[in-house]
Amino acid sequence: MAAGSAQVGVLAIQGAVDKHLAMLEQLDVAARRVLRKEDLDGLDGLIIPGGESTTISKGLDRLGLCEPIRAFGRAGGAILGTCAGAILLARECENHPVPTLQLLDVRALRNAYGTQVDSFVAPADAGDEGGLSGMRCVFIRAPQIVDPGPGVEVLLRVDGLPVLVRQGRVLASTFHPELAGDPRVHALLLGL
Ligand code: GLN
């Protein structure tokens, strides 16, 4: 997906939708909100934003979007899920489980760092090879990714725990890359 020609959708049920749209605009990418299955037509990539995974999950069900998004992923569409979006991509989630899309072979532990007041910013651990070094990661009532399957590559860690993973064309971060003014995670999605 080349930035100049890419079309990327942002699932707009709830959460940090506008921040992702602004980041895509900064990268010169044509972006649109996704609320109906027709909105997926012609997209190269889809972002499932952070927010509240119970709310987003109910919205996906109500709007009949689960199967179309699964089909989009299976057909090779690139997907980035951030925070609640990562939870929704997981094969299963724990701690107030919600139905998930099961596009990423990990378990997600909701609110694994505590409540809203336990939100924090932390630098990614040194040592990654993927041009993401020095990333400042914003965690807001963040989940943890555990038990990654063999097809899952850990791209970034904080304090030794995976915070950005990739399986094929599915990317998931437990932090909010749209909030730190650093477009490298979005650029990675475009690179897929
Ligand atoms: N704690 C939220 C949830 O479990 C996710 C928080 C976020 O996306 N910033 O849905």
Digitized pLDDT (tens) for each residue of the chain, 192 residues in all: 555 688 999 999 999 999 999 999 999 999 999 999 999 999 999 999 999 999 999 999 999 999 999 999 999 999 999 999 999 999 999 999 999 999 999 999 999 998 878 889 999 998 755 788 889 999 999 999 999 999 999 999 999 999 999 999 999 999 999 999 999 999 999 998
Would residue 147 count as lying in a domain?
yes
Would residue 176 count as lying in a domain?
yes
Would residue 154 count as lying in a domain?
yes
Would residue 148 count as lying in a domain?
yes
What is the distance between the alpha carbons of residues 119 and 5, in angstroms, rounded to a whole number?
36
Virtual torsion, Cα 49, 131, 92, 85, nearest 10 deg: 0
Count of domains for the chain: 1
What is the distance between the alpha carbons of residues 186 and 130, in angstroms, rounded to a whole number?
14
Would residue 2 count as lying in a domain?
no
**Does ligand 1 come within 6 angstroms of the Cβ of 106?**
no
Would residue 83 count as lying in a domain?
yes
Q: Identify whether the C-beta of residue 69 lies closer than 8 Å to the C-beta of residue 104.
A: no
Measuring CA to CA, how many Å separate 65 from each of 6, 44, 141? 22, 17, 25
Would residue 136 count as lying in a domain?
yes
Would residue 1 count as lying in a domain?
no
CATH code of the domain covering residue 39: 3.40.50.880
42-71 pLDDT, tens digit each: 999 999 999 999 999 999 999 999 999 999
**Does ligand 1 come within 6 angstroms of the Cβ of 140?**
yes
Q: How many CB atoms lie within 10 A of CB 22?
A: 13
What is the distance between the alpha carbons of residues 146 and 10, in angstroms, rounded to a whole number?
25
Instruction: Find the 20 Cα to ligand 1 centroid distance in Å.
Output: 16
Phi-psi region of 163 (alpha: psi -120 to 50; beta: other; left: phi over 0): alpha
For the question of whether the overall pTM of this predicted structure is more than 0.85, the answer is yes
Instruction: Find the 16 Cα to ligand 1 centroid distance in Å.
Output: 11
Q: Which of 112, 118, 122, 125 is nearest to 84 (CA)?
A: 112
Per the structure, the complete domain to which residue 174 belongs is given by 7-191
Is residue 92 part of the annotated active site? The answer reads: no
Instruction: Find the 182 Cα to ligand 1 centroid distance in Å.
Output: 20
| 3-state class (DSSP) for residue 44 | coil
